Amino acid sequence: MGKYVITKRANGEYQFNLKADNGQVILASEGYAAKSSCENGIDSVKKNSPDDARYEKNTSKNGKYYFNLKAGNGQIIGSSEMYESTAGRDNGIESVKKNGPTATTTDQSS
């Protein structure tokens, strides 16, 4: 089972990463001023990750592939790493769909 890891950035913002069973980061959040907002972001991933319509597939300027997970209001909740192929990106989406709803949370921000 995957897990969410909450950390604190050098600038004091909180962020979370969703990690797969193998420890690889499959989704990274934006920075949040408050830990409670970060936790709300995790709840939003749990709610939205099973829905195919919430994934936006993109290609970066350097030709690599990535995706964003969006909330119902269109706001980006998290972004993937860069993938070399569309198949890699699609596997990343499947991993978020599998791990997102049931992953546990570990707080490493203190």
Q: Select from 16, 22, 29 the least CA-distant residue to 1.
A: 22
The span from the CA of 15 to the CA of 36, in Å, is: 11
Q: What is the DSSP letter of 86?
A: H
* Residue 20 CB coordination number (10 Å): 18
* pTM of the predicted protein model: 0.94
CATH 2.60.40.10 given to domain 3-107: no
Each domain of the chain, given as residue ranges in start order, spans 3-107
pLDDT tens string for the chain (110 positions)? 899 999 999 999 999 999 999 999 999 999 999 999 999 999 999 999 999 999 999 999 999 999 999 999 999 999 999 999 999 999 999 999 999 999 999 999 98
Residue 99 to residues 8, 54, 63, 109: CA-CA distances in angstroms?
22, 15, 27, 22
DSSP-derived letter for residue 83 is B
